[in-house]
Chain A
Amino acid sequence: MSVVSVDSTGTAAPPPIVETFRGKHILVTGVTGFVGKVWLSMVLTELPQIRKFTLLARGRKGVGAKARFEEIAERSPALRPLRELYGSDFRQLLRDKVDVVDARLSADLCGLSEAEADALMADVDLVVHVAGLTDFEPDPPLAIEANLRGALNVAELAKRSAGKRMLHISTCFVAGRPSREVPESLEHGISPLGVKFDPRQELEELSADMASLATVRARTDHAMARGQRLGWPNIYTYTKGLAEHLLLMTPELRVSILRPAIVECARSFPMLGWNEGINTSGPLVWLLGTTFCRFPSRATNHFDVVPVDTVARGMILAAAELLRDEGREIYHVASGQRNPLTFGRAVELTALAWRRIHGRKQATTFESLVLRHLEARPVEADGDRLLDVNTVRRIARSVRSLLKGRDATTALPERMRADLGDSLNKRMKSASMKARNLDRQLGRVDDMLRTYRPFIHDHDWIYETTALPAATARLSEDERARFGFDVDDIDWRSYWLDVQVPGLEMWCIPILKGDSVPEDEPLPFNAVGRIAARAKSDEPTDESKRGPSACPEAADGPRPQRSVSA
């Protein structure tokens, strides 16, 4: 008699995640990016039963894809848990488990020949497509190549794979306009505004239009107008949204789409607070720590943030369901429905976090006496305000035009010219430069706020999030702790004050200021064949059970770091 275990939902429990991934070969794109790195690192750390990863990547600046990945693997903090776990065997792990293929996603078959593609894909169980261009308003042909053609070319490869399964990473913000509760599903061929359209025709027309327009501005304006006609507020969401429709039309391929909301600092994996590059909230948080602390947003709107390790867990859950041929079309990785954070609260928490930072002993007098008490608050975007960005820009320009090229000595009495003239001229020149820099800086701020406006002010979305909680409910207690969807557990106050803002302060804000962020020293490598034995083991070793270091100053002491220029 066979015994079927039943999960908490009353249905037959699926096999454990470790068993689902055992012996599987997964092809991944986008591992050099923020989410891709964390996911790869988490899977290799938590699921050593996996047989192989093939990474499609592109070389850069004369460095081949393999060398580029090795550099990331050895230096990126995202892979630190893996390096700590495997120590001197880390390089051996990469040799055994990871193949890197130089590929160009925008080319047919990602730049592979027919024979290469068939040979590679014959053994692949699942394709995970993370790569994409996340700029909101890039030159449209770049977004079309990366987010549309790239996705379709990867899908063509996936169709040739043994498993014929593809997990595509999209974004919740394909929901577009108008504000609403967004279901965890996709109406094929229906745009966010409810307009019926043909996705293939839309892509062809868009591509043709782009070819006929000469300037970036013209292309951007045209693509924005096309996207907005259908309900997508910018080029990023337009191309990602269109890709979803096209992928789900692909015959002979099981496609699941995972839509994360705003991906932010890690809660625990690879370490507390880890983030990479300039992401969505980094510039906003930075802005709120300056004198421009009036934040154009609606206090009651949802700020849908998810930590990057929650996204990685969601990817594991969705991939497992896809591997068991139980995958759904759409998975939302969002917090707004289950554990909402509003803009009002986020702005208040950011102000409090800056209050802490500006209250530190090493803070300057200006920071501790002025900025610390000049706290951020949400304001209406179009409200008249004293000292809003445009007013200050106008003042800065006036000051500059008043000072530029003037000779102060002419305004001084003759007897004072010799003593004060040079000094005054130097001061005027310096003030003029400062006014120019302020104007430029505020110009960037203004651009940024305009780009973000649909997401932080104009619209409010609540994303239905039921698929991943349902998948979590079917896990064993042990696997729920390791892979379960965990947004319900987030204490936003603690996350924002102790994880998010300190994380951005360390990993993102220095880049915004033109400074460098820390990167790990490579480990000394000394390959010993310990990996094979570990991979064969069903149970994680004691070593693998320990959590990753919580922060760079973890219990085992600060790690050696080197600075890398932004």
Chain B
Amino acid sequence: MQQAAFFRVEGTLLDRPALAAAAWLAGNARGLGGRALRLGNVAFAAPLSLASSLASGATATRVTWMGLRGMTEDRVEVLAEEYYDEYVQDDLMDVGRRLLDRARKDGRRIVLLSDNIEQIAGRLAEALEADDLICNRLEISRGKATGRLEEPVVGSHLAGQWARGFAKENDIDLDLSWAYGAHAGDSLLLSAIGKPCVVDPDFRLRRIARDNDWPVVER
């Protein structure tokens, strides 16, 4: 059985949350009216994301990306490429890069979990030469985004059950594997993996890490 290193992309490798990407894409929709409408949608998702309980994390993620409804697949692809070039590729967190390089050096399988959509997260996974990418996928129908995400919706609610299923499917020993997270929502995943590690955590995760005696890596 092999060992893996699970990285929650937002917080360990990227400073910007997926909400920022969704807002940027919405803000570059065609036409001023379309932009305002979509940005309003994303703005609605922001407090939902912050206030939501872990159980309703999927709802917040769904609402976040709902603003892209009706946007053409061509536009999503082009804007995602632009967003990646401008805000992602040169803006990776050093601490995350170091942890990822070490995990690879130690022979662990690199698994990225991202709330971002495939068009952005896929480019990052390719650049980082990750072995697996678990991210959100926009449902596309007749060349346009429907505003829905394909199942499974990826977010902080993905936890033990998902991790055990993934490990079984890919012959991974979860007890000897590592997981890296930065937000309180990531604690579900961290607690399901044998070797959890928190990276520059928010205050809630810092408290959880202290209670559970998880190692903390600062920037």
Contacts and interface: CB of A to CB of B under 8 A. Distances in A.
Interface of A: 345, 348-349, 351-352, 355-356, 359, 375, 377, 493, 497
Interface residues of B, number: 9
Interface in B107-166: 143
Contacts of B143: 345
Contact of A351 (B30, B77, B82): B30
A377 B29 CA distance: 12
B78 A355 contact: yes
Contact of B72 (A345, A355, A356, A359): A345
Contacts of A493: 74, 77
Contacts of B31: 375, 377
A300 to B, nearest CB: 11
B75 interface: yes
B30 A348 contact: yes
A356 B78 contact: yes
A377 B72 CA distance: 13
A355 B77 CA distance: 13
A365 B51 CA distance: 41
B82 A348 contact: no
Interface string B156-189: 0000000000000000000000000000000000
Nearest to A494: B77
A349 B78 CA distance: 9
A348 B143 CA distance: 12
Contacts of A359: 82
A375 B29 CA distance: 9
Interface of B: 30-31, 72, 74-75, 77-78, 82, 143
Contact of B74 (A348, A356, A375, A377): A348
Contacts of B77: 493
Contacts of A356: 78, 82
A493 B140 CA distance: 15
A432 B94 CA distance: 58
Nearest to A347: B30
Contacts of B74: 345, 348-349, 352, 493
A398 B72 CA distance: 40
A375 B82 contact: no
Given A375-B30, A377-B30, 5 more contacts: A348-B74, A355-B78, A359-B82, A493-B74, A493-B77
A343 to B, nearest CB: 13
Nearest to A493: B74
Nearest to A376: B30
23 contacts: A345-B72, A345-B74, A345-B143, A348-B30, A348-B72, A348-B74, A348-B75, A349-B74, A351-B30, A352-B74, A352-B75, A352-B78, A355-B78, A356-B78, A356-B82, A359-B82, A375-B30, A375-B31, A377-B30, A377-B31, A493-B74, A493-B77, A497-B78
A352 B76 CA distance: 10
Nearest to B86: A359
Nearest to B71: A348
Contacts of A349: 74
Contacts of A345: 72, 74, 143
Contacts of B30: 348, 351, 375, 377
Nearest to B73: A493
B81 to A, nearest CB: 9
A356 B78 CA distance: 9
B216 to A, nearest CB: 40
A349 B74 CA distance: 7
B95 to A, nearest CB: 31
A435 B78 CA distance: 36
B29 to A, nearest CB: 9
A359 B75 CA distance: 15
A511 B172 CA distance: 61
A463 B151 CA distance: 39
A493 B75 CA distance: 10
A332 B21 CA distance: 44
A355 B79 CA distance: 10
A45 B75 CA distance: 38
A375 B72 CA distance: 14
A359 B79 CA distance: 12
Nearest to A497: B78
A356 B75 CA distance: 12
A351 B75 CA distance: 9
A497 B74 CA distance: 10
A345 B72 CA distance: 9
A352 B80 CA distance: 12
Max chain A C-beta neighbours (<10 A), residue from B30, B75, B82:
B30
B217 to A, nearest CB: 37
Nearest to A355: B78
Q: Please give me the 7 A-B residue pairs with the lowest Cβ-Cβ distance, nearest first.
A: A352-B78, A375-B30, A493-B74, A348-B72, A348-B74, A349-B74, A352-B75
A345 B143 CA distance: 9
A497 B75 CA distance: 11
Nearest to B143: A345
Nearest to A496: B74
A196 B75 CA distance: 48
A377 B33 CA distance: 14
A454 B75 CA distance: 28
Nearest to B35: A373
Contacts of A352: 74-75, 78
A442 to B, nearest CB: 23
B179 to A, nearest CB: 36
Nearest to A375: B30
A368 to B, nearest CB: 13
B173 to A, nearest CB: 41
A356 B82 CA distance: 9
Which of B31, B75, B77, B78 counts the most chain A CB atoms within 10 A? B78
